[in-house]
Homo-oligomer: A and B are copies of this chain.
């Protein structure tokens, strides 16, 4: 990926309703108005508690959308990430 997030920021790719976690488990998600799931693509150097490929949960309205090489991503603040799906 040709994008380096600055500070405590994380570049993620949003996951759809029915998603696969890093360990391969399928998570059916019928939730409405709930936190969203996404995959970590790149992250600021100061962030020690996440790594590329992690599937994370974040507050639905957090982040800024960005288009890189024709594909949609989201830039999140680390503090907007609620937890990691393992």
Contact = CB atoms under 8 A, between A and B. Distances in A.
A17 to B, nearest CB: 11
B9 A82 contact: yes
Contacts of A85: 2-3, 68
A75 B35 contact: yes
Say which size band chain A's interface belongs to: 35 or more
A84 B5 CA distance: 6
A64 B23 CA distance: 24
Contacts of A7: 79
Interface of A: 2-7, 9, 11, 21, 23, 25, 27-31, 33-35, 42, 49-50, 57, 59, 64-70, 75, 78-79, 81-86
